[in-house]
Structure 1
Amino acid sequence: MAISSRFVLKATWLVLVALVMVATPPAEGELSCGAVTSNLAPCFDFVLRGGPSAPPNCCLGVRSLYRAAVTTADRQAVCRCLKSITNSASPSIIANAAALPKECGVNIPYTISPNIDCTKYVL
């Protein structure tokens, strides 16, 4: 039985997320990468496939994560997690991920990419 390319993409994305969660333990009081990926889990299909718009449950997660990241440490932790995930993602996945804030009506001061300088993201 052949494995679908969609399954392979989802499996790749989940493995990347799992690796990031293990590789980046949070500092005291910071949001963990696990919390970031948990909030963004409803966005995985949109990030992998794209589409005309992000699904409502995805935007709920994006906005929830945005509201949870209240300190500089939290915001930098979210940034580092997103940067880690995009480091090994394809250009189309990075473009879809970068579209999420605008799709969901959230304004962040950087573009999601492997080149983010998370040290500049402060309150």
Structure 2
Amino acid sequence: MLVKPSFHIYQNTNYYNKYKMKTSIVLITFLTMMVVGYAFDCEEAKTSILPCIGYLIGEDDHPSIACCNGVKDLKSSVPTKGDRHKACECLKKTSSHFHNIRDDLNALLPKRCGVDLNFTINKSIKCDQIP
């Protein structure tokens, strides 16, 4: 004689579906908060490239590891076109305050660090034309 299980498949499936739905809602809410909560921060960008000053004014022959890490951090903080425009304006304004920063080294910095920023950093760049 076969013994029927004491649980109902329908009830377990229903519970499982409710669990999946709740988990999905929590995950979507969390991801939305992460995306909406992020905004480009000019002060963070300036801090990240601060170790590059020695290279940018010509005192150092090569950008330091800390400098290149800062450039990589900058790259990861500008995922959208709007963020790149903000970063460009921020760095353009910042570099204009330093009269001894060399534009040639400024433009070469991302390449020297092996990073593609989609724009060069210099005092005369037109930030609204960055892709």
Same-fold call, TM cutoff 0.5:
yes
Structure 1 distance, partners of 2:49, 2:96, is 17
Aligned to 1:46: 55
**Residue 119 of structure 1 pairs with residue 128 of structure 2:** yes
Q: Which runs of 5+ in 2 are unaligned?
A: 1-36
Moved over 4 A (4+): none
Instruction: Tell me, in whole angstroms, the C-alpha distance in 1 between the residues paired with 2:99 and 2:54.
Output: 14
Deviation at 1:89, TM superposition (A): 3.7
Distance 1:92 1:41 in 2: 12
1:82 counterpart = 2:94: no
Is 1:50–1:96's contact at 8 Å kept on the other side of the alignment? no
| 8 Å CA contact retained: 2:95, 2:101 | no
Deviations 1:19-55 (A, max 9, x none): xxxxxxxxx9541220111111111222223432111
Deviation of 1:91 (Å): 6.3
Cα deviations across residues 54-91 of structure 1 (Å, max 9, x unaligned)? Answer: 11111011011101110111111110012112334436
Contact 1:36–1:65 under 8 Å retained in 2: yes
Higher Rg: 2
Matches within 5 A, 1:57-76: 57-76=66-85
Corresponding position of 1:20: none
State the one-letter code of the partner of 1:101: P
CA root-mean-square deviation = 2.1
How far apart are the structure 2 equivalents of 1:29 and 1:67?
12
Instruction: Letter of the 1:104 partner, please give it.
Output: C
